[in-house]
Structure 1
Amino acid sequence: MKKYFLLAAFATLSLTAVSCNNESAAVNTVESMKTPEMDNFNKAFKSLGDPQNRPTEEEKKRNTSELSDRRKALLVPASKALILSTGVTEAELTRKTNGDMSAIIVWATQIYSQKNTEIRNKVKAEN
């Protein structure tokens, strides 16, 4: 009886390990499908939380939901790179945004969101 109990416990643990490995493989697939431009864009947004990039007291006093120009400037290079990675030319980028940092960031955010959705849908279709 003890032998069967140990065998059942081992089988259960084995199935659990296989299940967990499949879940981590799916997560790794999502991460591996992201382009370097997507990773850089995500890192740029996360960098806004770094101590040196947080809003200053003066920026906080303005009490607006919009990012300051200083903080927008941190996002623009990664935003431009993400937009350009879709095949948009520099001239088209300038024409559509008129060099407005907010417009560039919004456009890049839309692209990032769209690509994330596409990746998630691909992973769902594969599983």
Structure 2
Amino acid sequence: MKKYLLLSAFATLTLLSCNNEGTSVNNTVESMKTPAMENFDKAFKSLGDPQNRPTEEEKKRNTSELSDRRKALLVPASKELILSLGVTESELMRKTGGDMSQIIVWATQIYMKKSDEIRKNIKSEK
């Protein structure tokens, strides 16, 4: 009986230890994000808020593209992320023509690249 009790206690401690390890890695990824990345992340998450979800009219269009209303929610954070790299406002406008979709796509590419770099840095530290 004592053997099973000790074994289960050891197994529990092992599982908790592994769980904490994963949490610390996730916290590290989150803590290494720049403020511009965090704002971009928050902007995307805000699309799930009730007031930002697609309207019935937007759903009827049955398109995979975001509506202009929803794109407008992402553009400020997208611009902030792009400009945080040292890109000037004029260069941003020249490359995208002010098109909301192009701004969002460019920012998404930057976000994904920076996230990958953070993950690689964490793996190399281990």
Q: Which TM class, normalised by the smaller chain length?
A: 0.7 to 0.9
Tell me which residue corresponds to 2:36: 37
Tell me which residue corresponds to 2:24: 25
Change (3 A) 1:27 1:59: same
Tell me which residue corresponds to 2:96: 97
Task: Give 1:20 shift.
Answer: 3.5
Q: Which amino acid aligns with 1:57?
A: E
Tell me which residue corresponds to 2:121: 122
- Scaled by the length of structure 1, the TM-score of the pair is 0.86
Listed as ranges, the gaps of 5+ residues in structure 1 are none
Q: 1:20-56: CA deviations, max 9, x gaps? A: 3333221111110011111111111111111111111
- Scaled by the length of structure 2, the TM-score of the pair is 0.87
Q: Distance in 2 between matches of 1:13 and 1:64?
A: 48
Task: Give 1:96 shift.
Answer: 0.4
| Range moving further from structure 2, 24-33 or 102-111 | 24-33
Q: 1:72-103: CA deviations, max 9, x gaps? A: 00000000000001111111101100100000
Change (3 A) 1:107 1:16: same
Change (3 A) 1:18 1:62: closer
Task: Give 1:5 shift.
Answer: 7.7
Q: Which amino acid aligns with 2:91?
A: E
Tell me which residue corresponds to 1:51: 50
**Larger Cα Rg: Structure 1 or Structure 2?**
1
Tell me which residue corresponds to 1:78: 77
Task: Give 1:17 shift.
Answer: 4.3
Listed as ranges, the gaps of 5+ residues in structure 2 are none
Q: Which amino acid aligns with 1:85?
A: S
Q: Give the length in aligned residue pairs.
A: 126
Q: Distance in 2 between matches of 1:64 and 1:8?
A: 55
